[in-house]
Each structure stands twice: as structure tokens, then as C-alpha cells.
Amino acid sequence: MTTAAPTSLVDDILRLKKDRDAVILAHNYQIGEIQDIADFVGDSLALSRQAAKTSAKVIVFCGVHFMAETAAILCPDKTVLLPDLEAGCSLASTVTAEQLRVWKRSFRNPVVVSYVNTSAAVKAESDICCTSSNAVQVVRSIPPDKDVLFVPDMYLGEFVRIKTGRTVHLWPGSCHVHFRIRGKDIEDMKQAHPGAEFVVHPECGCLSTALKLANKVTSTGGMMTYVRNSPSNEFIVATETGILHSLQKENPGKTFYPVVRTALCEFMKMITLEKVLWSLEDMKHRITVPPETSARAKQALDQMLSVPET
């Protein structure tokens, strides 16, 4: 349950947003107050698409650093602001561009698929990006005779490997929040709520149990769609708990049970209303990517955006 945000703070943000010709994009894991003031709330793919098509001059990105970088790459003529520079991602930190260059050298003409949870420098070393909502389609779009290297999330990579039946070489990275969601937690929740449907994010460290018990393995945006269209009234949700705000707001008659109540991404929670206001006041922290890195990373992102949505 989130308490209502102070109205003057919200009013100040909305006024300044208009003055600056800014749009506020927020990820589904943001605190409720941020989701409530955002122009658009979504998953990584939807936010990238939204950034790419906005006509606003300024994008205030309420998410983590790699997401703001993605927006800066896709919209080089816009000002992209991240309200807190410390908002990083433990998963993105598991691979550097140099490590990826070394790994690539052990394969002959591999195709590198990088999850968007990577730095711009890692994207620049990649052939195509993916998110949790299009990873399976992205790998299916690669010629079958190619070696696929998947960075950095090993659980999402394993999910893709199972779904596509392809040889996918996995980088041993994981997210510290999703890693902690284990099979036993899911089994206990399923026992406590036998009538509930179960939706799970593919980053979770419980893939075998998830594949056995889940009604849907999908991105945060995919969860929103699944719940919206399901006739069920109860759902067990295995991901970061920020998604519960959007789920509850959009489906007031339905009940949601987080598999792990403490599944909180402290990086996502660094963005507060005060920081959004300061960000608009001081026009910081501006996220930029060096032109050469940006051009190469953009190719991998454009390649992803050209894969049809299903």
C-alpha cells in the first residue's frame, strides 16, 4: 500500500515537465508514486519503443542506468535525464565489453544476443539485443547454423534455449533480486493459494519449477497483459514487487500474492519524487553515450526493434 504523494510536489513536477517539454517514462518496478505521475509505465521493450517515438525534447527516465542509456542511444537528439546516477543494475554489471570481446574470440562467427540489461559498451559488441518479452523471437530470427552467445542473464538464456531448442551459450550472470526467488518459495505459495494462477519473470532463479508450474513465463509487460485478459481473480507473482502497484491499479477486483515479499530492487527504488523534481529543475543527470559506441549499440537495438512483436 503506498501513501498519496504530497500534491505540491506532484504539481511542481507536472508544471516543470510542461515548461521543459519533458515526458516521464517509468519502469514497472518504480515506486507507486513515480508510476502514478509517469506519462508511460512499462517494461524494458515498451519503454524503448516509447522513447524512440516520443516528440518531447526531454525524457526523464525513471528506471535504471542501462534503460536511460538505451533511450539516449535511440534518441540522440533528446536530453535524457536519470534522476539518480547511482541507479544501476546488478545484472548489467556482470559483463563488461572487454570480457565479451574475449568470450567472442573462442567461437567462429558467433551471433551475440545481449539482453537490454547491459551497458552501451556491451551492446556495441553485440549483434542484436533482446528483452525478456522478445528474447525467444530474437533467437528464432538468427540463422540456425550460427552459434548464439547470450549475455548476461543465464536464466533468461536457459529459458530461450529450452523454448527454441537452439544451442545457446550462456554467460553466467544473474540479477540479485530474481536469483533469490527459488522453487521452494513457489511451491509453498502454490500450496497456500491452490486456485491462483502463477506468472513468473524469466530472470528468476527457479526456472525448472517455474516451467513446471507457471501459467505464464513473461516480462513485466507480459504479466500486465496476461492478468488483464485472464478470467482468474487470484495471481501468484514471481518478480520484483513494484509490479504489484500497476497490477493492482489496473485490476482492482483481483488479488495478487508476491512469491517473495522482499524481492525489491534497491536500484529501482532510488528514484523518488524529490529526485524527479530536482532532475527537472537542474536538468540532470544527463545520460550520454560516446558517438562511436552509440552508433554500434544502436545497430543491435534497431535489429531487435525490427523483430516483429507477437
Residue 147, amino acid: D
Cell of 149: 552467445
Decide which of ligand 13P, ligand SF4, none touches 90; Cβ closer than 5 to 8 Å per partner kind.
ligand SF4
Whole-number Å distance between alpha carbons of 147 and 195: 42
Which parts of 40-145 are beta strand (E)?
A: 40-42, 58-62, 79-81, 111-115, 128-130
In a 10 Å sphere around its CB, with 0-12 CB exposed, 13-18 middle and 19+ buried, how is residue 262 labelled? exposed
Cell of 280: 527537472
Say whether residue 91 binds ligand SF4 (CB under 6 A): yes
Say whether residue 227 binds ligand SF4 (CB under 6 A): no
Whole-number Å distance between alpha carbons of 200 and 178: 10
Q: Choose among 60, 51, 45, 201: nearest CA to 129.
A: 45
Of the two residues 265 and 276, which places its CB atom closer to ligand SF4 in the complex? 265
Shortest reach from residue 220's CB to ligand 13P, in Å:
4
Of 54-62, 173-181, 207-215, 293-301, which part binds ligand SF4 (CB under 6 A)?
173-181
Of the two residues 44 and 209, which places its CB atom closer to ligand 13P in the complex? 44
3-state SS, residue 23:
strand
Judged by CB under 6 A, the residue of 41, 120, 175, 214 near ligand SF4 is: 175
Say whether residue 132 binds ligand 13P (CB under 6 A): yes
Say whether residue 294 binds ligand 13P (CB under 6 A): no
3-state SS, residue 210:
helix
Say whether residue 267 binds ligand SF4 (CB under 6 A): yes
Decide which of ligand 13P, ligand SF4, none touches 267; Cβ closer than 5 to 8 Å per partner kind.
ligand SF4
Say whether residue 131 binds ligand 13P (CB under 6 A): yes
Whole-number Å distance between alpha carbons of 267 and 252: 27
Residue 139, amino acid: V
Of the two residues 176 and 254, which places its CB atom closer to ligand 13P in the complex? 176
Give me the residues that bind ligand 13P (CB under 6 A), please. 28, 43-44, 117, 131-132, 175, 201, 203, 219-220
Give me the residues that bind ligand SF4 (CB under 6 A), please. 64, 89-91, 117, 175, 177-178, 240, 265, 267-268
